Amino acid sequence: MVGAGLGVWKLMRGVRQLELHRLILALIIFCLLSMAFLAYYVSNSPKIKEAPPLPFSDCGGGGGMSPGASTGAAGGGPGVQRSPLFLPSRQGRLRQVKAVDNSRTQPVVLVFVESIYSQLGQEIVAILESSRFHYRTEIAPGKGDMPTLTEHNRGRYTLIIYENVLKYVNLDAWNRDLLDKYCAEYGVGVIGFFKANENSLLSAQLKGFPLFLHSHLGLRDYRINPNAPLLYITKPNQVEQGSLPGDDWTIFQSNHSTYEPVLLASTKSSEALAHFGPSPLRALHATVVQDLGLHDGIQRVLFGNNLNYWLHKLVFVDAIAYLTGKRLCLSLDRHILVDVDDIFVGKEGTRMKVSDVEALLNTQNKLRALVPNFTFNLGFSGKFYHTGTDEEDRGDDMLLQHRMDFWWFPHMWSHMQPHLFHNVSVLAEQMRLNKIFAQEHGIPTDMGYAVAPHHSGVYPVHSQLYEAWKSVWGIKVTSTEEYPHLRPARYRRGFIHNGIQVLPRQTCGLFTHTIFYNEYPGGSKELDKSIRGGELFLTVLLNPISIFMTHLSNYGNDRLGLYTFESLVKFVQCWTNLRLQTLPPVQLAEKYFQIFPEERNPLWQNPCHDKRHKDIWSKEKTCDRLPKFLVIGPQKTGTTALHSFLSLHPAITSSFPSPTTFEEIQFFSGANYDNGIDWYMDFFPFPSNVSTDFMFEKSANYFDTEVAPKRAAALLPRAKVLAVLINPSDRAYSWYQHQRAHQDPAALNNTFHAVVTAGVSAPRDLQALQRRCLHPGAYATHLERWLQHYQPSQLHIVDGALLRSNPALVMEGIQRFLGVTPIFNYTQALMYDDSKGFWCQRVEGGRAKCLGKSKGRKYPEMSSESRAFLAEYYREHNMELLHLLNRLGQPLPSWLRQELQSTSWS
């Protein structure tokens, strides 16, 4: 009985467990199905459309903030009354201030930094570089010698900046006196920063100055003193309400009339300044002061913090302008152009609808009241017209209905990257399809401006793109963010190639995926920060011309493009005196190269050293076709013979001959450089083995052409460089005879002595011949220029006299320098030719194959009078060469030792 009951109980328990397991399994399945259904519903249901953020109100807070929210350090919100700033006028005292005159100085800034890695030092340099100001950095000496400040009775620097002002005031007496005398005599000002740290005293007097510092303070409500003389771009009478970031601010106090506050703030609490006496809670304290020079004749600007706060950057730019007498200063004019890329391109849900186009027109009209001639510039790819939803297609139609209200520029018809097209005809056909679309829909086609998708083919240059642009559209201007590199943005520059002007393009924090304010990467505050004194604001501040890249998707949904630029324009006009305006692209390019004429000529870089560049470079091109070493000259030293000897080596390949300059390409030294690197690489074969094949080119005028080293190093930074040096007197005479052989009238009508001794009143053609005779022989000067761009280990000096007498020995040394294998036996490959008087290639049958009749000419000996003159002329140059070669650890050429001995120098 008991056993039967136990069996029934076990059976019932098993049934219950089975039912429990089934119940759990059913619940799991139910949950999974519910999640799948919910995910499907969420992904396929339309989002609740939030109202787009409102742009900043006039000189108020960000419109994207909820009503009543505190703006903190970002400024007062809409409707918040700004506190007036009342400071007594000091015009009587300001009339005593001496006008800045540092015209006897070079326009170079000397920056003393704490270290090469210090953040503030890098920020100072970044602003100088963005403004295109020349500068030199030095590690601030605690003790030791000050850099040389003068040269030939001119000051080398027009402004001194100290990252840490304490390094300036604590200079030893000798260097401080030296620097102060320099500043006073040459009218040079000083900018200094004091950033409190854990070791800083709460209060202290600045050594040698009637000025007190009070540190470790929390401040609020930043104000600008309208009486500060340095204000130029900065607009006074604005108050940045709210707490300033951090509690490490320093304020300045002084009763001396030399100090004028620039920026002032209130302390957060009454206890903050209790250690130096009672003061009202809202008393104003100077955080940036201008020393008018009434104390010691030197004008200065001192900052009580670093450059992290945006208003400090603005005042820093003004301080540079003021202390240099506006020598380092841009005008107040700022030209902006807003490109809207990818019109008609984009996925459903990201494109513009009718209401978005209406908002675009409305904002454009509002901006025209603030920025004369403001017009959105629309870039289109016609293939994608009417490929959105019905509502978005109606937006396309409305854009075309108002086509004459905008400017237009073409992309590619199918939005493909131009570097993928290797045939000019096929590329041009794509462009014609886009042009036909434009003509059929009444889009203007005469703007002369185009932008390549993803900036492909603009830089690195795809020559087919430039040809097609000119033939189909008559393009005169384009823009790219890739020259010379995408980052850092402050290095972006313009250039002109094949008649097309290329302008630098700027990003503004808006990309194809940034379409919702509350989903902005890093949060919406990051976008507002960029507008309100951040990266976007600084782009306008530091660049006279800015072309901004935006996309179609930035003008749908939350319309971040409209929000960004309306807010930016209002913020710029609230805080600065900048005059914003817009010009069409062709006129904008003319303006750009008027301001920066030095940027007309490009500097070609190696596309394979930048991944982005390699990705937008034709796959048919390869950097393996670039040479591994250069023979740079100078002319008439034996470079042609060296070229022929190198070409005998089985692992060394010379460039193809030029139809006009024979074995020389002369790319880096003249007009050929404008043809671009595609043209240059066509002179070289595809190497059969990249690691063992050594390609080279010889152009003897590279040696003394001023631009050649910089150009060569930009494209070939790892190349090795060979220079052949002979006695410069012999080189000069050989050039004279060369010109006589080529029927140069100046050489035919004048003796060599008359040429080298010609005075400044000599005819122009005679002076030109004299320069080509004498100038290349200043060997040390030209080598130093090459060493500014190449390491000493990349340079090899060939003894030209030894190359003539014992070429096999010289070639053995060159092979070791290049690292080429196998070692070639030049003793067997060369033989001396008595009739020519130099070494030639040994060919079958033991015969000599020599250079042409123009090489190895025999001409009369140089007169002793001319040789004596040239020995004296080159004596100092040869001494400089001696010192240079000793410094480099390179052996002295035999002719140099003989020349120094004959002139009694050692």
Residues serving a catalytic function are 636
State the amino acid at position 188 in one-letter form: V
Read off the tokens for 130.
């963005």
Closest by Cα among 435, 436, 451, 432 to 377: 451
**Cα dihedral 854/855/860/864 (nearest 10):** 130
Give residue 206's Cα distance to chain centre.
Answer: 38
Q: Give every CB contact of residue 709 below 8 A, 6+ residues apart in sequence.
A: 702, 785, 786, 788, 789, 790
Q: What is the DSSP string of 815-834?
A: HHHHT-SSPP-HHHHEEEET
Give residue 811's Cα distance to chain centre.
Answer: 41
- Residues linked to residue 654 through DSSP beta bridges, in sequence order: 696
Q: Give every CB contact of residue 453 below 8 A, 6+ residues apart in sequence.
A: 381, 411, 412, 415, 416, 417, 418
Q: Give every CB contact of residue 327 below 8 A, 6+ residues apart in sequence.
A: 102, 103, 107, 158
Give residue 474's Cα distance to chain centre.
Answer: 29
Closest by Cα among 122, 267, 255 to 202: 267
Contact 205, 211 (CB under 8 A): yes
Contact 618, 638 (CB under 8 A): no
Please tell me the distance from the alpha carbon of residue 384 to that of residue 280, in angstroms, as a whole number: 66
Q: Is the torsion defined by CA of 382, 384, 390, 395 positive or negative? A: negative
Please tell me the distance from the alpha carbon of residue 385 to that of residue 406, in angstroms, as a whole number: 17
Read off the tokens for 32.
């999974």
Contact 774, 756 (CB under 8 A): yes
Q: Give every CB contact of residue 597 below 8 A, 6+ residues apart in sequence.
A: none
Q: Give every CB contact of residue 815 below 8 A, 6+ residues apart in sequence.
A: 649, 823, 824
Read off the tokens for 289.
């002061």
Q: Assign residue 246 a region: left if phi > 0, alpha if psi is -120 to 50, beta otherwise?
A: left
Please tell me the distance from the alpha carbon of residue 175 to that of residue 149, in angstroms, as a whole number: 11
Contact 553, 512 (CB under 8 A): yes
Give the DSSP letter of residue 729.
H
Please tell me the distance from the alpha carbon of residue 57 to that of residue 739, in angstroms, as a whole number: 73
State the amino acid at position 185 in one-letter form: E
Please tell me the distance from the alpha carbon of residue 343 to that of residue 378, in angstroms, as a whole number: 7
The kind and range of the H/E element at 581 are: strand 579-581
**Cα dihedral 5/10/11/17 (nearest 10):** 150
Q: Give every CB contact of residue 220 below 8 A, 6+ residues apart in sequence.
A: 241, 242, 243, 244, 265, 266, 267, 268
In terms of C-beta density within 10 A (0-12 exposed, 13-18 middle, 19 or more buried), how is residue 845 classed? exposed
Q: What is the DSSP string of 392-436?
A: HHHHHHHHHHTGGGSEEEE--TT---GGG---HHHHHHHHHHHHH
Q: Give every CB contact of residue 813 below 8 A, 6+ residues apart in sequence.
A: 796
In three-state secondary structure terms, 253 is: strand
Read off the tokens for 316.
């820093």
